[in-house]
Amino acid sequence: MERQLRAPTGHGGGCLFNGCMVACVLFVLTFAGMWIWMTTQPERDEAKARADLRETVDARRNGLVEAASDGVLQDEEITELFPPEKPARGLVDVKRRGEATTVTAGLLGHGPTTMRHGRRW
């Protein structure tokens, strides 16, 4: 009877290469991912604020177009769209030249990051 040669079973290195190395690599990848996510947060907040501001501007512009659809844009209609305590906070300038009316308003875009107690959340 001939003896058959067998390939060795098991892994060399034991825990160091099997479990600990995998855990270290997963930790480093997780740490790097969280670091990248945290460092790019301000850019995401700014993009959100810009998108919010664009939506607000478009909504106000459409409201002005609707209010002026009868040919005259009255002060009451402007005040209704830009109340002094709301988005423009009183920063509205109305210029009338002949039949043309130009409304300039200071609007704010709010992103998800806010200041609380002097710290950024």
Residue in this structure with the two tokens 């040919």, named with its chain if needed: 71
> Around 47, how many Cα atoms within 13 Å sit in the side-chain half-sphere?
5
Distances (CA, A) of 19 to 12, 26, 33, 84: 12, 11, 21, 64
Strands 100-105 and 115-116: unpaired
User: Residue 79's closest CA among 65, 64, 69?
Assistant: 64
- pLDDT reported for residue 54: 86
Nearest to 67 by CA among 49, 82, 85, 46: 82
118 conformational bin, left if phi > 0, alpha if psi -120 to 50, beta if neither: left
Q: Which residues of the chain have pLDDT under 50?
A: 114-121
Query: What was the pLDDT predicted at 39?
Result: 92
pLDDT at 42: 87
Q: Can you give the pLDDT at residue 111? A: 54
pLDDT tens for residues 44-58? 888 888 888 888 888
The per-residue pLDDT for 32 is 96
Going by C-alpha positions, the residue among 43, 48, 56 that lies closest to residue 108 is 56
Please tell me the pTM assigned to this model. Answer: 0.54
